[in-house]
Chains A and B, each alone.
Chain A
Amino acid sequence: MKALESFPLGQYIPMGSFLHKIDAKAKIIASFLLIIIIFFLKLNVSYLFFLFLILLGIFFSSLPLKYFFKSFRPIYFLVFFTFIIHFFFGEEGGRVFFRYGIIHVTENGIKMAIFMSLRLVFLVMITSLLTLTTSVLELAHALEDLLKPLSIFKFPAHEFSMMMTIALRFVPTLLEETDKIIKAQKARGAEFGKGNLVEQAKSLLPIIIPLFLNAFRRANELAEAMEARGYRGAKGRSRYKITYWSFKESAFLVFVCIYSILMLIAF
Chain B
Amino acid sequence: MALIKVESVSFSYLKDTPLEREALNDISFTIEKGEKIGIIGKTGSGKSTLIQLFDGLIYPLVGEIYIQEKEIKHWSSKELCRIVGLVFQYPEYQFFAETVFEEIAFGPKNIGVPEDKLEDCVIEALETVGLSYKDLKDRSPYNLSGGEKRRLAIASILAMKPEILILDEPTANLDPRGRKEIMEYIDKWARRGNTLILVSHDLDEVMRLVDRVIVLNKGILIFDGPIEELFLNVDKIDEAELEPPEIIKIVKALEEKGYPVKGTFTLPELAERIIAYRSYISS
Contact = CB atoms under 8 A, between A and B. Distances in A.
Interface string A156-181: 00000000000000000000000011
Interface in A223-266: none
B93 A210 contact: yes
Contact of B88 (A184, A189, A191, A213): A184
Chain B interface size, as a band, is: 20 to 34
B142 to A, nearest CB: 8
A205 interface: yes
Contacts of A184: 88, 91, 94
Interface in B56-80: 57, 77-78
B14 A190 contact: no
A188 B107 contact: yes
B89 to A, nearest CB: 9
Contacts of B203: none
Interface residues of A, number: 18
A206 B77 contact: no
A206 B142 CA distance: 14
Interface in A175-203: 180-181, 183-191
B157 A187 contact: yes
Contact of A191 (B52, B85, B110): B110
Given A183-B57, A184-B88, A189 B107 contact: yes
A205 B87 CA distance: 20
15 contacts: A181-B93, A181-B94, A183-B88, A184-B94, A185-B94, A187-B57, A187-B157, A188-B81, A188-B160, A189-B77, A189-B107, A190-B106, A206-B106, A210-B95, A213-B95
Given A183-B57, A189-B110, 7 more contacts: A180-B88, A184-B94, A189-B107, A190-B106, A206-B94, A213-B142, A214-B93
Pairs A-B, 4 closest by C-beta atoms: A189-B110, A209-B96, A188-B107, A187-B86
